[in-house]
Chain A
Amino acid sequence: MVAYIFCLTTSGGVPVFARSKNGLKQLPFPVIGSLNGVHMFARSHDVELLSTVTDDSKILWKSFHDSLTLIVVSEDDNADDCHLGNVLSHVFDSMVMLLGFDDVTNIKNVERFKKDVRVCFPLIDKFVEDQSLLTFGDLVNAVDVIAAAENAVLQNFLDAFAECADSPYGCLLIHGKIAVATRKWWNLTSRELVLISLLVSSLTSCSSRDIPVFLPDGSPSVPHRLMTFQLTKFIDVCVLCGPKPSLNELEEEVGRFWRTSYESLRAALQNHPCNIPSSFNLDSNILGFIVVNIETNRCLCSVYSSSTTNGDESLDCHERRHILRSYYKHVVGNYFASKVEGSEKIPSSFTHSAMDTYMTTDTYKCYAMLSPPHQIYILYSTDIPTFAMRSITEKTLMILTKDKSTQL
């Protein structure tokens, strides 16, 4: 859980911004200054300071393109440093996405930059408040999807709409999770996918918007126009366009293209928050799961099982999400490698490769399995016998990946 994120200029140590978790007191500047100072001091001695661990917390430093230094202070998650490094990369990429690579890596006027960077705060705060995130995309570096039987129908609507917008890039977001997207949209890199989805959900909801975005990998210097239209509550359609068409022109088309899809959209919306159609028959002991396809950069997650309705569950959804996040961080970087940068270091030092792993505690059990290109992490209740976890995990993975509507 991230507590503070500080951003300073690498050359001068000028503070650019400081974000902290809700309810934490701001740290005085001398403390931030000396946290950055040790990093600069080390650099002057040809030493690159990476991280420091204390009794209960962890601090990570990372410089980007000799321009900005990001410092994150977090609880000690007892996981590999790659996960916190991933958070800092996301923060930097957020700035690139909204301000452009050139502006971020070549700061001419720090005071002006400090003002400009404020536009990124809602997005950056998503990473600081990772506790309240409903999605896992930022953690697994793959974009959250929502499975619905109506997806095949919706795909046609989307393709038609994107064509009208004269753009190959289009996607339909339900609660910030991708229901369907155009073929070209799936060709975006994983961080672009994750950041765009998070960006849309970080902004206050409105019927339509048009914002310039830089794609960190695709076009870091030339902005595209990201246009979003709210079709109904919690459902947005997004397109990435060039200079044309204008927002007004496209807004007029929205009704024409999507009106007939209303029933399908309503039906698809029903799948939130489970993210899977209720027809899926999963084991009743499953409290939550993450399935990642590391080739297509998609992940399907759920902490709401169909049996959640009876109120005697020991773990609420918030706890389940938290446990799954912790378990993912524990497994990736220790036993499994994944899309997270640097996570392959320790797993590759084993002479044989780990394929399955599990953990049992007094209140829950977890199982993780590699089945390339898929990875699955399941949270079980304690009622499941340990020996059954493997076969049920295998079966669950089959159910989730073989179904058409999940598109994994």
Chain B
Amino acid sequence: MKGDVRTTNTSVKHKDFLEYSKIAETMATKKCECESKRNSSHYIEVVMKLRHRKDEALRDLTTVELCEKVLGIIPGHYGSSQSSNQSHRRKDRRVKIRGLCTNGVAAKYPDIRVGDCLSSINDQEVNWDNLSSILHVLLVQRQVKLVIKKNMKGKTSGSVLLKKKTQSSLVQLVSGSNGNNVALDSLLQGDWEPFYGALYLSLDGVNSENMQAKEDIVYQFPRVDNQVIASRGMFITLAGTIHDATESTVQSTTMIVDNNPVHVVYHCEGQNLFVICAPENRFSRTTLVTLVKDLVRLLQVTHGSIHDTFTSSSNHNQLDCFFALLHQNQVSQSTNNGPVHEDNLNLSQSAKILPLTNEIKCCADRLLTDFEAADFGDMSDSYYGCRRSYSILGSCLFYKNYLVSNHLTREDLIDFSTYLKYHSLLNLSTDHSFGQLVVWREIHPTRQCQAVPEEQQFGYSEPLIARWFWLIVGYKNLIMCVALETGGCTKIVEGVSPPDPFLIDQARAVLMQLYTQNIASHCNNILTSTPSFVNSPEQYIQGQTQGHDLISRSLKKLPHKDSNLFSLANGVNDNPGSLRRLMQRRKDSVESDNSSESSGESMFKFSKKGRLFPETADLLHNIHESKEEMMSLNSNRKLSIGLENSLFHFQYYDNLEGVVISSETDSSTVNTLHDEIYNCFKKSCHKIKQLFDNARKIKEQSKTLKHHVCGIDDNFTAVREEGVMFTCSISQQDKKAPPLCYWVVGRCLSRSMKREIFVCFHDSTPQTVIELAFKLAMGYLPL
């Protein structure tokens, strides 16, 4: 299965199809690539072999079509994307490479990139005026020499060069644009965090007689020797011995190397071991355990099984790339030397939700639903008269780091969010803005790995011969993830399965539509506006806190609209249902509005083929209407009840849906006290969550009949809530001032222990208020 690189007419690998044509429009991403390859000149020469064409019909084509057919290049105007100013267009007659045809000639040449300028053909300068005539000449030629001017936009001043370089190296790592290889010498020495490493150890075919040096290491990253690697022998021995002693599987080891505590976390795959080690000043033991859990999940999704991942050496380049990226993001944070932010990994296996108003969320959901339905225009089966290759299982949408909309099951969503997180795509979408991002790969979903139906069940069951694919498309700050299935109601795809260009186009269209409808900018507004439902601790430094006027305040805070109340009270679980009802309501109103002009035309029926969003005007109208209301709603919202808002932070974790809501703020504001409180909050959330997780784990363990040799500590299995109070003296000078006290409280919300909420509030808050906040808060959050 692995490594069957397509050798047909494109240079892309079909399995790991990553195309970053233009990741950041304003960032100097191109610069770095240019540095290595084309430092001397901005022009490059490409000699292309052309396909012989006898087809006379080509002569009647337009210039654009001709260019696509002959060169495989989609030509474009400069400045045309920003302005439709015809006069401007007339002035700049240079030919821009707007895109490359999938099966075109140019796609074979890696030097030709979207965004470059086509400068000359066969030493003849090209512009829009003579392009057509030049191309007609090419029709009879076999070979052509192109000169391409690289897009050097963004090469500005030297002062910001350093920053740009690190950013673009991230882009390089993610996209694998430096040849999809981590240079061998950097693997051997490089600037790696000491004692950090990933290993796959196997004793298959190794015996002590012929053991020379490192036969037991199947894969190692980075290839640097240190004491940990030298003492790797004990990992396998430990795993075996401990199983003999306690009949349990080894999980982690702590040791001291050169006076540094180092953690080693294992994943046992039969007799073989996948090991990650990291120093404690970077990862606490529990964070490292979570990291390994995530990695194992991710590798199983992308490669099928851990063993396959590491044993086939063709994967090793890809793994090098992946682990280098991991190192860059999680381990060596060059800016700070402290431990990895606990929250980086703390709440993994979940996606952070962006709380949106219902109107916005509805729109986003509708766009996704339209796409998933795949029954419009030329996406339907009947249009081509053949069965489609892929059926869409569901999709989800991310804006920057946040989940905006999700139509996937929990397991699928977590697969996606884990993939995006560890491939830094979420980070990229936050810091940069994608020009184009397409990921296409075959995957092995966790959902399927865990439950294979043994016999045919009554009703629907998933097709047994199915294969699953992912399509991830990014545009600006939005990322759309689509889960695809083939083998069910679709054609059965054998062997190589290329990405469907039509799906990619449509997904991109959805994202662009989200931008035109200002949904993306609304998301941005919510992100940048200061969250009002949490309070800064400063006002408590002033001292006196007033009483809590419970009734008057809570009356004021009743939701304005019944529709809000309705869906909010339903919370997360009922989301699809309540949305559908809301959608229905919306649809009705839209239809009644339009009834005079287009009677009988439902909004989901398309008069024009291939056009996905015919009624944008209506939607736009709706959004503008709701905009004001939304802003006011957001600015007045607070979760606690009482005159003073004494809530500092909160975090809501839904294990059932795999989502998180958090009052996370940008750390742009310099506010030491706030930061200190935030750090304490994060750290204790981590501790409390650990307690909840352990309780869940022990509950699971005590259900099974497995014998626990050493017994089991089941005192905390029924834990509901834990709180910690922190005290800090506010000012050094004034010793008499009462210290600032605040609580961090975590609570399991439902019986099944699937939902957790963590809050941080000032000590002055009366308990009744907290109780009310716990009860009301979740109904009050827009989901």
The interface of chain A, by Cβ under 8 A from chain B, is: 1, 3-4, 24, 27, 31, 34-35, 37-38, 41-42, 45-57, 59, 73-78, 81, 322-323, 326-327, 330, 334-335, 349-363, 385-387
Contacts and interface: CB of A to CB of B under 8 A. Distances in A.
Contacts of B242: 35, 52, 54, 57, 59
A244 to B, nearest CB: 48
Given A34-B241, A54-B242, A350 B683 contact: yes
B241 A31 contact: yes
Given A3-B709, A50-B255, A350-B683, A361 B245 contact: no
Contacts of B713: 1, 75-78, 326
A47 B246 contact: no
B234 A41 contact: yes
Given A335-B724, A386-B767, A35 B687 contact: no
A76 B741 CA distance: 33
Nearest to A40: B234
Given A56-B701, A361-B719, A385-B767, A46 B227 contact: yes
5 contacts: A327-B715, A350-B726, A356-B725, A359-B721, A387-B770
Interface string B237-250: 11011101110111
Interface stretch (B122-130, B621-629, B654-662, B673-681): B673-681
B303 to A, nearest CB: 25
Interface of B: 227-228, 230-231, 233-234, 237-238, 240-242, 244-246, 248-258, 261, 285, 676-677, 679-680, 683-684, 687, 690-691, 694, 701, 708-713, 715-728, 741, 766-768, 770
Nearest to A131: B711
Contact of A355 (B240, B715, B727): B727
A-B residue pairs, 4 tightest by C-beta: A387-B767, A362-B718, A356-B725, A45-B231
A353 B691 CA distance: 20
A359 B676 CA distance: 24
Contacts of A334: 687
B680 A357 contact: no
B720 A73 contact: no
A73 B246 contact: yes
A76 to B, nearest CB: 7
A97 to B, nearest CB: 27
A355 B726 contact: yes
A57 B709 contact: yes
Nearest to B746: A359
Contact of A352 (B251, B676, B690): B676
B710 A3 contact: yes
B238 A27 contact: no
A73 B245 contact: yes
Contact of B679 (A73, A323, A351, A387): A351
Contacts of A37: 237
Contact of B255 (A49, A54, A77, A387): A49
A352 B253 contact: no
A76 B249 CA distance: 12
Nearest to A390: B725
B727 A353 contact: yes
Nearest to B195: A47
A323 B684 CA distance: 21
B249 A355 contact: no
B677 to A, nearest CB: 7
The secondary-structure label for the interface of chain B is mixed
A55 B770 CA distance: 36
A200 B709 CA distance: 31
Nearest to A49: B255
B52 to A, nearest CB: 66
A56 B680 contact: no
Contacts of A3: 246, 709-711
B254 A81 contact: yes
A330 B716 contact: yes
Contact of B227 (A45, A52, A330): A45
Contact of A75 (B261, B712, B720): B712
A56 B252 CA distance: 12
Given A41-B237, A358-B723, 4 more contacts: A50-B253, A56-B710, A350-B683, A359-B719
Contacts of B238: 38, 52
A329 to B, nearest CB: 9
B721 A47 contact: no
A54 B246 contact: yes
Contacts of B254: 50-52, 81
B727 A351 contact: no
B251 A54 contact: yes
Contacts of A56: 246, 248, 701, 708, 710, 712
Given A52-B253, A352-B676, A38 B241 contact: yes
Nearest to A335: B724
B684 A350 contact: yes
A46 B226 CA distance: 10
A188 to B, nearest CB: 31
A4 B242 CA distance: 13
Contacts of B690: 78
A49 B261 contact: no
B722 A358 contact: yes
Nearest to A48: B256
A41 B256 CA distance: 14
A334 B724 CA distance: 11
A185 B708 CA distance: 43
A335 B246 CA distance: 30
Given A47-B257, A52-B253, A360-B719, A27 B245 contact: yes
A55 B724 CA distance: 27
Most chain B C-beta atoms within 10 Å of own C-beta, residue among A352, A354, A362: A352
Nearest to A319: B715
A317 B83 CA distance: 80
Given A74-B710, A361-B718, A352 B701 contact: no
B716 A362 contact: no
Contacts of A362: 718, 720
Contacts of A81: 254
A78 B717 CA distance: 12
Contact of B231 (A42, A50, A385): A42
A326 B715 contact: yes
A38 to B, nearest CB: 4
Contacts of A42: 231, 234, 255
Contacts of A353: 726-728
Contacts of B241: 31, 34-35, 38
A50 B726 contact: no
A350 B680 contact: yes
Contacts of B684: 335, 350, 354
B722 A357 contact: yes
Contacts of A52: 238, 242, 250-254
Contacts of A46: 227, 257-258
A190 B151 CA distance: 74
Contacts of B240: 34
A256 to B, nearest CB: 49
Contacts of A53: 250-253, 285
Contacts of A57: 242, 246, 248, 708-710
A335 B726 CA distance: 10
Most chain A C-beta atoms within 10 Å of own C-beta, residue among B245, B257, B677, B680: B245
A24 B228 CA distance: 34
Contact of B250 (A27, A49, A54, A360): A54
A48 B711 CA distance: 27
Contacts of A349: 683
Contacts of B233: 41
A66 B544 CA distance: 59
A4 to B, nearest CB: 8
Contacts of A24: 709
B725 A49 contact: no
Nearest to A369: B725
A350 to B, nearest CB: 6
Contacts of B249: 54-55
A20 B709 CA distance: 11
Contacts of B677: 351-352
